[in-house]
């Protein structure tokens, strides 16, 4: 109410003033230091069992261990594929079969776009991808911890939502099965399939954060251009590497270097794209609300006229 | 708020950066609520510290009822109220509200005096009115959000706010230009 407007201003001036920056920093260090310790302990104590922990539980019992081993031995014999089977190291066909069993994945990554015409023009952002065979696909981009964009494809409702958080704009549209399949080509499932469909080079055994991995490299990403629409990703050349855990047979890290043609996602510039993606977790419960495509409060519908300022540049 | 939903998800997954982002986002609001209820800067910082550490210890199973900001702000108000109950009876303002050092200008002197008067007026309000005013004005929570988090009816919340603000207006009238 207006009659209280002055009192509200007085209250804000009284209580919302910040002390000097040194005090703010001191308080932040104190609080976040103690909170981080509490959080790390809590994550361990409160974590729900995931398939990785289930695997450890199976291995701790002689009965279940040998049963599991028998299943894997039979499964491996059935699924072995001449492609990529060299008798040593990881067979990508095994990885393909293993990835096909995974129901959910959470991937974290970092992407850098650099303009080909001006290397000083670059964009860096973190991204998180949530993949669920039941619910669909979500990708979020963050710049300095703040949400920048969010893309949702809901497999069950066949709806999609593109959200641009910094502009408070969004675009909802129906999503076809074909579009979902195209998106899946960009997930670990699709990446492993791609490696099997093209010529790859083995990079040998290495270690990533204590996990033994084997590397595979594709030096020609041309085949992918027929899978992904140019409006989404115009790959003109590129190489990709995946590192696969030799025990779990899952891709744990992927890296790609590409030259992309100009489109909306590249800010209408020809760019070099460097992307690193790490498997954060798999077969964890993903909240179905994460795949909600309803328009959030405070967002307006994206219009083509919103693109005019970019097209003029 | 969609960003908060994502932050909660990442927080529950153990992402420390998400927790830091939550702190950075709501620090000012929460500290303001604590200061308004407690009137003591050091105690307000302790309350914020305790509430945030308690919040962090719920990582992995945190599911707020209502908004994240509403949950945190009411936690701060509740804890501040408990601290107040354990402290000495309300009396003259603590040093924090008094201006310290030489003011730069007449305007600064006036502002410092106003802050003292406002803090003293707030101290005269019943705790429940002070808390609702702090949550609504300083943390920008809607009455509906406050009612949801505190378990009170929305009419009760609105009444406390209205009576509290009228009392403040009455106390400050003649001392501050309203």
In angstroms, what separates the C-alpha of A295 from chain B's closest C-alpha? Answer: 10
Contacts (Cβ under 8 Å, ≥6 apart) of A208: A243, A252, A253
Are B60 and A106 inside 8 Å of each other by CB? no
Angstrom distance (rounded) from CA A256 to CA B138: 47
* Residue A14 to residues A134, A242, A289, B74, B94, Cα–Cα distance (Å): 52, 56, 40, 20, 14
pLDDT band with cut points at 50, 70 and 90 for residue B98: very low
pLDDT band with cut points at 50, 70 and 90 for residue A136: confident
Residue of A nearest to B4 (CA): A147
DSSP code for A294: S
Query: Which residues 107-146 of chain A have a CB within 8 Å of chain B?
Result: 128, 140, 145-146
Q: What is the pLDDT of residue B92?
A: 44
Helix (H) or strand (E) holding A5: helix A5-15
ipTM summary value: 0.85
- A150-154, B8-12, B125-129: the lowest-pLDDT one: B8-12
SS (H, E, C) A236-270: EEEEEEEEEECCCCCEEEEEEEEEECCCHHHCCCC
Report yes or no: A29 at the B interface, CB cutoff 8 Å: no
> How many interface pairs between A and B have CB atoms less than 8 angstroms apart?
132
Q: Which of A8, A11, A140 sits opposite B6 (nearest CB)?
A: A140
Report yes or no: A72 at the B interface, CB cutoff 8 Å: no
Q: Rounded to two decimals, what is the model's pTM?
A: 0.49
Report yes or no: A290 at the B interface, CB cutoff 8 Å: yes
Q: Which residues in chain A are contacts of B97 at CB distance < 8 A?
A: 14
Query: Which residues 30-69 of chain A have a CB within 8 Å of chain B?
Result: 30-32, 34-36, 38-43, 45-48
Average pLDDT over residues A21-25: 87
Are A43 and B60 inside 8 Å of each other by CB? yes
Are A7 and B177 inside 8 Å of each other by CB? no
pLDDT digits (tens, 9 = 90+) for A140-185: 988 878 888 898 988 888 888 888 888 888 888 887 776 677 667 6
In angstroms, what separates the C-alpha of A281 from chain B's closest C-alpha? Answer: 10
Q: Which of B1, B53, B134 sits opposite A35 (nearest CB)?
A: B53
pLDDT digits (tens, 9 = 90+) for A90-111: 777 778 778 878 888 888 888 8
pLDDT band with cut points at 50, 70 and 90 for residue A221: low
Q: What is the pLDDT of residue A74?
A: 35
Residue showing tokens 């302790």 = B46
Are B137 and A31 inside 8 Å of each other by CB? no
Q: What is the pLDDT of residue A209?
A: 74
Residue of A nearest to B47 (CA): A31
pLDDT digits (tens, 9 = 90+) for B35-88: 999 978 889 999 999 999 999 998 888 888 788 999 999 999 999 988 888 775
In this structure, how many other beta carbons lie within 10 angstroms of the beta carbon of residue B93?
Answer: 17
């Amino acid at each position: 109410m207006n009659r209280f407007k002055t009192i509200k201003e007085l209250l804000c001036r009284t209580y919302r003033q910040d002390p000097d920056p040194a005090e703010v920093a001191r308080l932040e260090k104190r609080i976040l230091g103690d909170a981080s310790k509490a959080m790390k302990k809590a994550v361990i104590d409160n974590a729900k069992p995931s398939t990785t922990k289930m695997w450890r539980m199976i291995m701790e019992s002689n009965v279940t261990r040998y049963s599991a081993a028998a299943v894997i031995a039979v499964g491996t014999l059935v699924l072995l594929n001449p492609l990529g089977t060299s008798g040593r190291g990881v067979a990508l066909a095994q990885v393909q079969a293993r990835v096909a069993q995974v129901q959910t994945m959470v991937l974290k990554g970092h992407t850098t776009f650099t303009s080909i015409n001006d290397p000083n023009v670059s964009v860096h952002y973190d991204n998180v991808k949530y993949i669920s065979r039941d619910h669909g696909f979500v990708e979020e981009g963050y710049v300095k911890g703040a949400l920048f964009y969010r893309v949702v494809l809901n497999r069950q409702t066949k709806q999609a939502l593109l959200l641009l958080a910094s502009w408070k704009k969004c675009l909802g549209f129906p999503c076809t099965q074909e579009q979902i399949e195209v998106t899946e080509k960009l997930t670990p499932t699709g990446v492993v399939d791609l490696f099997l469909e093209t010529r790859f080079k083995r990079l040998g055994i290495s270690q990533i954060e204590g996990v033994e991995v084997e590397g595979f490299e594709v030096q020609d990403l041309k085949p992918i251009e027929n899978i992904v629409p140019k409006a989404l990703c115009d790959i003109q050349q590129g190489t990709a590497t995946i590192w696969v855990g030799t025990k779990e047979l899952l891709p744990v890290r992927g890296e790609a270097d590409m030259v992309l043609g100009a489109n909306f996602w590249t800010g209408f510039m020809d760019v070099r794209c460097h992307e690193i993606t790490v498997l954060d977790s798999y077969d964890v419960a993903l909240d179905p609300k994460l795949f909600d495509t309803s328009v959030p409060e405070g967002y307006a519908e994206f219009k083509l006229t919103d693109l005019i300022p970019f097209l003029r540049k | 708020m969609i960003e908060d939903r994502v932050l909660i998800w990442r927080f529950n997954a153990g992402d420390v950066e998400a927790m830091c982002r939550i702190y950075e986002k709501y620090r000012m609001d929460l500290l303001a609520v604590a200061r308004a209820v407690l009137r003591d800067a050091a105690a307000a910082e302790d309350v914020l510290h305790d509430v945030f550490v308690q919040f962090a210890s719920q990582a992995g199973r945190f599911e707020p009822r209502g908004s994240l900001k509403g949950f945190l702000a009411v936690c701060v108000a509740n804890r501040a109220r408990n601290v107040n109950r354990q402290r000495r009876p309300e009396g003259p303002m603590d040093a924090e509200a008094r201006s310290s050092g030489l003011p730069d200008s007449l305007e600064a002197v006036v502002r410092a005096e106003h802050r003292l008067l406002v803090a003293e007026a707030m101290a005269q309000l019943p705790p429940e009115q002070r808390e609702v005013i702090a949550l609504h004005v300083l943390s920008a929570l809607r009455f509906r959000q406050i009612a949801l988090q505190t378990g009170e009816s929305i009419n009760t919340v609105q009444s406390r706010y209205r009576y509290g603000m009228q009392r403040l207006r009455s106390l400050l009238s003649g001392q501050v230009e309203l």
